[in-house]
Structure 1
Amino acid sequence: MLVRYDKIKKRRSNYEKRFTEEQIIKILKSHEAGQKTSDIVREYNISEQTFYRWKSK
């Protein structure tokens, strides 16, 4: 079986983060300003679980 390595996504390491702390704060403040959770999740392509985990910290 041939595997196309260019089609395989690289897994992110634990040290490589997709969002900086500043970006997370901006996302959470937009929620406080009244933006719906479902809209935020869709806009930033994150899961609801990730959003609520950030919010709990």
Structure 2
Amino acid sequence: MSHSPENVARYVCSDCQLIHAGVPRRTATGKRSFDPPETCGGCGGDDLIPIQNWVHHHSAE
């Protein structure tokens, strides 16, 4: 049986639009999930939006 690659969750910083990979963790069932980083590695912002929701995100400007 071949291994199918996992899709890593991606998050967009609402301040600088830098994209980050999610932080992997194991669930209680042994599967992997991805959490957003605590802060943006570029600007230090803490508002990270899942990439699939980015098109619907409205900034507070």
Flag the structure with larger Rg.
1
Q: Which of the pair has the greater relative contact order for Cα pairs under 8 Å at 6+ separation? A: 2
TM range (shorter): under 0.3
Greater strand percent: which structure? Answer: 2
Greater helix percent: which structure? Answer: 1
